Each structure stands twice: as C-alpha cells, then as structure tokens.
Amino acid sequence: MNPRPWWRRAGHAGLLLVATVYCVFPIYFMFVQSLKTAQEDVFGNPFIVTNPTLENFEELFERKGQPRNFVGRALRRDYPFFVWLENTIVIFGGSVAITLAAGVAAAYALGRLQPPGFRWWRRAIFATYVVPHTILFVPLYQVIIRLGLDDNPVVLLLVYPTMALPFCVWILSAYFQNLPREIEESALVEGASRAAAFYRIVLPMSRPVLIAAGIFALGTIASDFMIASVFLLSEHNQTIPAGLATMEVALDELLAVAGINLMAIPVVLLCAVFARGYVRGLTAAMIEGA
C-alpha cells in the first residue's frame, strides 16, 4: 500500500489523542485530588497538584482507633479501612474463583459433552441477564435469611458469581465447542481419563479464554455497589465500595477520594497486566463467529 498522506496520519494521531484524553482524564482527575492537602484542595488549581502528599492515604488507615473528635460541630468518624480492604480482597478473589470454577465446569458440559438441549440451556443461562435487579433484593433477602447469612460477607460470594457467570459460560462454552475434538481424543486413545485429558490438555490450551473470563468477572464484580451496600450492614463486614458510600463526603472528601484510588489502583493494574490476554481470549472464544 502506498504511504498515507500526512494529513490523514495527523488526523489519525489527533483522534487517538482525543480518545486517550477522553478515557483517561476522569481517572487522572480523581487521582490528582487524592494527592492534595486540604488547603490545596480548596484553593489550588483543580487539574494539577503542586505539593503531592500521601497523607490522605495514611490517614485512611491511621484514623482507626483514634478517639472521635469534633470538627466544628460535626462528629468525625474513624473508618475500619483495613478491615474493608481485607473483606474486599477475600470477596473479590473468592467470587472470581467461584465464577471460574462453576463457569468452566458448566461450559465444558455445554460445549463439549453437549447434553440434549444444550443450546437452550446455554441460552437460558445467558437470558438470566434480563432479570431486573432493583427490587430483587427483597426476596433475595428472604433466601439469605433462610440460609442464615444475614449481614455476612459470604452472601456476596453467592450473589457476585451470578452476575458474571452467564457471560463467562457463554464465551468459555463457545471456545470449548470450537476446539477440535482430535485434541482430546488422542489423549483418550492413549488411555488417559476424560478428567486427565481435560486437566492436562484442554485447560492449558484455554488460558487466554480463562483470562478473559476472569477479567470480565473481576470487572463485573468490582463494579457492584448496590448489592454490597444493601446486604452488608455492619461496619466490619463491609467491602470498600459499601464502606466508602457511608463516609461523610462533606467532611472527609479527600479521604474518600483516597479510598477510591486505593481500591481502584490494584484492580486497574491487574486488568492492565492481563489486558492483552483479555482481548486474545475474547477473540479466541468468538473466532467461529458464534
């Protein structure tokens, strides 16, 4: 192909710049605010930080255990941020693991073993996305009380997978279905059991799709705010999103912004590390146009 004229290349570069700024600016803005002192937050330039400080992040952890003191006439709370962080890590990690385990099992059954009506089964699983969530938690609460899990973070380990499972089952089963049968059959002929063939051959091959499913699950789970704040009532059971929402924004704005960043940065880094695998996995799952 002949080289493209300069104005087309400039146009392309310009569009790339616009897209990048559009995507990154809000995140940059939130990050900058978290590095500010209270003084700069009020009087400084909103777009930059001149005296970056980590004191907001430190205060988030250190305020724990301090006696409550008064600022003006309002009560200043302390936040069990460390507990929230622990809960968040356990719940997010656990939910992603459960989603992947249940998803791979179901997807292998649907894509590979293909019981009668598997297409409809798969469609039914995917169709659960149409269930409206807004007042569903009223009957869901009945289920949870029946299970004795009231105000217990374990609830989220049961609810979160249901938000990510349909899509994960979809892409995983599409991938398993398109995988040539010979791959497994040669191992079966050699005398390996079906489980061994799956574990030793199919699973390692599916790495990109597993990454795609895992990242999708993490992104979906990390975006929930409603379920966490409805079901986790006591302070020491909450995850970071639920906890942050209980903060007094008017008093602790900088602390809250620091909390937002502290939660987001690890998730973003994890996603960034696996970003390429995520795209590759989605491609691999859909390559047959399904």
Partner 1 sequence: MATAYLLLAPATVLLLGMLAYPLGWEVWISFTDFSPLNDHGPRFVGLENYRHLLADAEFWRAVVVTVGFAAATTLAKLALGVAFALLLARPFRGRTLVFLAIFLPWAYPASVSVIGWYWTLSPPIPTAYSPFMGTLKYTVDGALGGGAWAFLSVTLFNIWRGSSFIGVFLLAGINAVPPELFECALLESRSAWRRFWLVTVPLLRPFLALAVFLSLTTAFADLANVWLLTAGRVVFPVVGTQAYWLAIKGGQFGPASALSLMLVPSLLAVLALLFRAFDPPAEARA
Ranges within 109-138 binding partner 1 (CB under 8 A): 109-110, 113-116, 118-119, 121-123, 125-138
Residue 32 sits in the site that holds partner 1 (CB under 8 A): no
Q: Which of residues 194-233 bind partner 1 (CB under 8 A)?
A: 194, 219, 222-226, 228-230
**Minimum CB distance to partner 1 smaller for 67 or for 199:** 199
- 3-state SS, residue 235: helix
* Binding-residue total with partner 1 (CB under 8 A): 102
Classify residue 77 by burial, with Cβ atoms within 10 Å: 0-12, 13-18, 19+: middle
Nearest approach, Cβ of residue 241 and partner 1 (Å): 4
Site for partner 1 in 37-66 (CB under 8 A): 40-46
Full 3-state SS string of 177-222: HHCCCHHHHHHHHCCCCHHHHHHHHHHHHCHHHHHHHHHHHHHHHH
The residue among 82 and 225 lying less far from partner 1, judged by its C-beta, is 225
Q: Partners of 70 in the beta sheet?
A: 75
Does 3 help bind partner 1 (rule: CB under 8 A)?
Answer: no
Query: How many Cβ atoms sit within 10 Å of the Cβ of residue 244?
Result: 23
Task: Candidates 90, 102, 154, 201: give the one binding partner 1 (CB under 8 A).
Answer: 102
Dihedral of the alpha carbons of 62, 65, 67, 68, in degrees to the nearest 10: 70
80 counts as binding partner 1 under rule CB under 8 A:
no
In the bound complex, what is the minimum distance in angstroms from residue 30's beta carbon to partner 1? 5
**In angstroms, rounded to a whole number, what is the distance separating the alpha carbons of residues 115 and 254?**
55
Within a 10 A sphere around the Cβ of 221, how many other Cβ atoms?
25
Closest distance between partner 1 and the C-beta of residue 154, in Å?
A: 13
